[in-house]
Structure 1
Amino acid sequence: MIVVAGEALVDMVPVGDDELTPLAPKLGGGPYNVAVALGRLDVPTAFLSRVSTDHFGEQLIKRLHASRVATVLVQRGQENTTLAVVGLADDGSARYSFYVDGTADRLVEDPGPLPAEAKAVSFGTLSLVLEPGASVYETVLRRESKRLLVALDPNIRAGLIDDPGAYRKRFRSWLPDVGLLKLSVEDARWLAEDGDVQGGDVIEIARTWISQGPAAVVLTKGGDGLSVITATGQVDVPPVKVDVVDTIGAGDTVQGALLAWLHDHDALSVEKVRALTSDEWTDALTYAGAAAAITCSRAGAEPPFASELTAALGG
């Protein structure tokens, strides 16, 4: 089983082209999308979070169940659901404004040791920024890294980070406990801005981080595809051509699909990730890229089901 820890929220997504177009609610949140992607790819998955008992919260839970994600680790509270208002650029890329004061997901409590059947745990996005929940998730990350593969997607939302320098320092402190680090090239450059690497060379940035702990760093590069950097080299795969509706949830789908591939190939450990060959990484990145392309082809964060991805890959 894979546990995904972090926030669930509602994206308010524009449904027209007018300056003040109507907004439609779409269920999301980085970790939530990862959990949905994993469940839809037939991987035993549990979600760890605190979810509101309001209408949005009920719909979030309902969608987890429909995606075959277990909710035994989900805590419930009467606080409101976090809202993210989404703006879309001409290329379909998204920008976000958040409404997070006093919302349910910030008040998660430490569940204690994760279930014995868990093999990996994934973290990321707002849940590692907004206190008091961020410190709770950090505690779980450090504790569970002693026995599980820890996957991290920082998924930076700079507008919510009051002290970038402190966050970058905190990020680096997690690296010894992280087995798989996945992030966009933009996030890599933002995280290295305080001088880790001069000039913003993302490959050199990734190599620096590899030396601090992770077995692999996977970079999402938008229209340039995906890359993985390990201690032994680099593997690149081209993008999948698709008519982009929007990119909401694309990176989350990559994270979920990568973990699904590792699960399906019995590689959910730091040692096994470190031992993957170039051909295996090509297979894994191709799988993740195809999954993300399907998500980009439809509105909102809608990761594919296993049958859809199999068909896309010609299986």
Structure 2
Amino acid sequence: MIVVAGEALIDLVPQSRGALAALTPALGGGPYNTAVALGRLGSPVAFCSRVSYDAFGEALLERLRATGVDVAPVQRGSEPTTLAVATVGADGSAAYSFYVEGTADRLFRAPAELPDGTRAVSFGTCSLVLEPGASAYEELLRRSAARGLFTALDPNIRAGLIADPDAYRVRFKSWLPSVSLLKLSEEDAEWLGGTPREWLAAGPGAVVVTRGGDGLTVFTRDGGEYAVPGEPVEVVDTIGAGDTVNAALLHGLAARDALRPEALAALGPDGWADLLGLAARAAAVTCSRAGAEPPYAYELD
């Protein structure tokens, strides 16, 4: 079982160019998209979050259930659902503004236990920024690592939500001793101001950097550096692409019985090439259609 911990929200996606373009609601949030992608790929997965009782919250849970995601760890609240307004650039890239005050996911509390059979826990995005929930997710990260679980982190930086960038960068570094696998984009890496080798020295067994259409590169503790090119695709938008990479990496590691920190070192060049190639193919499918619509397993065969 892979547990994905973090926010579920509603993306308001423009249907055309321009500031006053019509907006269509779409189910989203980085961790939420990762959970859906894992379910579509066929991995046993549970979602750990706090979701509103409003109509958006019900829709978010309905999709998780339909995808085979265990929602038993989800907490509920009467507060509204977080909204993220997406702006899609000419190249399909997405930027976001957020409506987060008083929303349900901010009041998440770290659970006493995770589902039976949990092997890995994945964290990231807004849930590690917005208090008081951020501290609860951080507690869960540290506790999971202390129990020997495989932990994955995708900071997925949303700069508009981070009031004190320097304080966040310090906090990010404090998480690394508790992280087994760090995945981030080139843009995230530049914003954070560090390098994969620096981050590896702080704790993770591997760091995967996504480079958009140029593919993915992994840096490993033993000095390895392996890259695969991106999959050619006509990009509709990139919403959910990084979340799909997260899911594909975790799914592939689970299939190789490598959801253990020490197992990352044993993958070697061929293992990493296969794993990164799977992630690149999965992300390309997501980019080929509007919104966060990750692939099913049969689409990657």
Above 0.5 in TM-score? yes
Q: Distance in 2 between matches of 1:239 and 1:309?
A: 14
Separation in structure 2 between the aligned mates of residue 65 and residue 19 of structure 1, nearest angstrom? 34
Give 1:218's match in structure 2, choosing from 208, 217, 221. Answer: 208
Cα offset, 1:17, TM superposition: 3.0
Q: SS of the residue aligned with 2:130?
A: coil
Partner of 1:105: 105
Structure 1: distance between partners of 2:247 and 2:61: 18
- Aligned match of 1:231: 221
- Distance, in Å, in 1 between the alignment partners of 2:18 and 2:169 is 38
User: Aligned match of 1:268 in 242, 250, 259?
Assistant: 259
Amino acid in structure 2 at the alignment position of 1:167: Y
Q: Residue type matched to 1:272 in 2? A: A
Look up the equivalent residue of 1:93 and give its one-letter code. S
Q: Is the 8 A contact 1:113 1:144 kept in 2?
A: no
2:202 aligned counterpart, secondary structure: coil
TM-score if structure 2 supplies the norm length?
0.98
How far does residue 16 in structure 1 lie from its aligned partner after superposition? Answer: 1.8
- The aligned residue for residue 162 of structure 2 is 161
Aligned mates of 2:32, 2:264 — CA distance in 1? 24
Are 1:50 and 2:41 counterparts? no
Q: For residues 70-219 of structure 1, what are the structure 2 equivalents within 5 Å?
A: 70-146=70-146, 147-192=148-193, 196=194, 205-219=195-209
1:207-233 Cα shifts (integer Å, max 9, x gaps) = 111111000000000121100001231
Counterpart position of 1:201: none
Q: Distance in 1 between matches of 2:295 and 2:56?
A: 22
- 2:294 aligned to 273, 280, 303, which one? 303
SS in structure 2 at match of 1:27: strand
- Write out the 4+ residue segments of structure 1 that deviate beyond 4 Å after TM superposition: none
Q: Tell me the percent identity.
A: 63
Output the CA distance in 1 between the equivalents of 2:179 and 2:266.
16
Answering whether residue 3 of structure 2 is matched by residue 13 of structure 1, we say: no
Note the C-alpha offset of 1:297: 0.4
Q: Secondary structure at the match of 1:145?
A: helix
Q: Distance in 1 between matches of 2:228 and 2:12?
A: 32
Paired positions, count? 299
Structure 1 residues 19, 157: closer, same or farther in 2, change over 3 A?
Answer: closer
| Partner in structure 2 of residue 313 of structure 1 | none
Q: d(CA) in 1 for partners of 2:100 and 2:239?
A: 19
Deviations 1:250-285 (A, max 9, x none): 000000110000011111010111221110000000
State the match for 1:26 in structure 2: 26
In the alignment, structure 1 residue 245 sits paired with structure 2 residue 246: no
One-letter amino acid of the structure 1 residue matched with residue 282 of structure 2: A
Which consecutive residues of structure 1, in runs of 5 or more, have no partner in the other structure? 197-204, 311-315
Task: Give 1:66 shift.
Answer: 1.1
The answer to whether the 8 A contact 2:73-2:115 is kept is: no
* Cα offset, 1:18, TM superposition: 4.4
Structure 2 counterpart SS, 1:244 = coil
What SS is found at the alignment partner of 1:275?
A: coil
Secondary structure (helix, strand or coil) at the match of 2:102 reads coil
Letter in 1 for 2:186: V
Superposed displacement of residue 113, structure 1: 2.5
Q: Provide the secondary structure at the position in 1 that maps to 2:49.
A: strand
Bigger drift between 13-22 and 79-88 goes to 13-22
User: What is the one-letter code of the residue matched to 1:50?
Assistant: R
Distance 2:167 2:97 in 1: 22
For 1:84 and 1:30, the matched residues in 2 are separated by: 11
> 2:271 is matched with which residue: 274, 280, 292?
280
Equivalent AA in structure 2 for residue 101 of structure 1:
E
